[in-house]
Amino acid sequence: MSTPIPTGRYVELDSGLTIHFHEAGAEHGGVPVVFLHGSGPGASGYSNFKGNYPEFAAAGLHVLVPDMPGFGLSSKPEDVEYVLDFFVQALHGFLEAVGIQRCVLLGNSLGGAIALGYTLAHPTRVASLVLMAPGGVEEREAYFAMAGMQEMVSTFTSGPMDEAMMRRVLSLLVHDPAIIDEELVQERYGVCLTQPRTVLSTMRVPNMTDRLHEIQCPVLGFWGVNDDFNPVGGNSKLLEHCPDARFVLLNRCGHWVQAEYREYFNRECLQYLQDLGLASGSVQA
């Protein structure tokens, strides 16, 4: 059976959810890096990170790229609320199922919020965080006041999307729409056709700013100053409250730093993990 994105592996969780994921690199290539994608119509780990995780694997790291429930090729239950705790529990179940006891969490947008939430719930399981415009550091109203978020949600919940509408939504994520190619549109459109509307309509992510001081692991962050989905001022909250954090701000960049500045992002992350002793040949998970 054909799928909108390449098929990787599947694992069934104790909760009954099935999680689809891609895996690459050396199993003993330092602490595993788990890539956590953002939300939105048709999102998947592969589409978010296909320009990144192969480079991490080529550098000798063990990488896993799961699709969160409701996204990609993973289970998409209609009878749940897609709140942060649901995603954090699913991530924990996934890591348990694949035998990962300690990892680096690398997350964009919703994936960044999941990474923060998971670190607060399971601090000893996270060696470091890499965040790109993470959610979870503003009240819900602040996110939904953003122009990109408003248009994305209204488009997805108003009825069936066509491919032109998908291209329009994806163009909101980036500063230069030229990087939105037909392959990406088809990947996201194909996944979107399988998603219940409750994936976005029930989504709730709390503001975790008051708990950021609890995050003791090192944090590397990136934010595009032209982001129309997450207020760029969120970087200041992480810098102020996290004991060990650094952030890079990029101009002419929207919500997808990992795609818009792909080579720079890959290079900086790999050097950062090497400097922390978490990359290939330095520390075993």
Which amino acids are annotated catalytic?
A: 255
Q: For residue 24, give both structure tokens.
A: 């690459």
Nearest to 211 by CA among 84, 123, 120: 120
Which residues in 81-231 belong to E strands, given as ranges? 103-108, 126-132, 219-224
**Is the Cα dihedral 47, 53, 58, 64 positive or negative?**
negative
CA 74 to chain centre: 15
CB 129 within 8 A of CB 108: no
Using DSSP, state whether 224 is helix, strand or coil.
Answer: strand
Q: What gap in Å lies between CA 195 and CA 184, rounded to an integer?
A: 17
Q: What gap in Å lies between CA 259 and CA 237, rounded to an integer?
A: 24
Nearest to 136 by CA among 38, 251, 265, 244: 38
Using DSSP, state whether 271 is helix, strand or coil.
Answer: helix
Q: For residue 1, give both structure tokens.
A: 């059976």
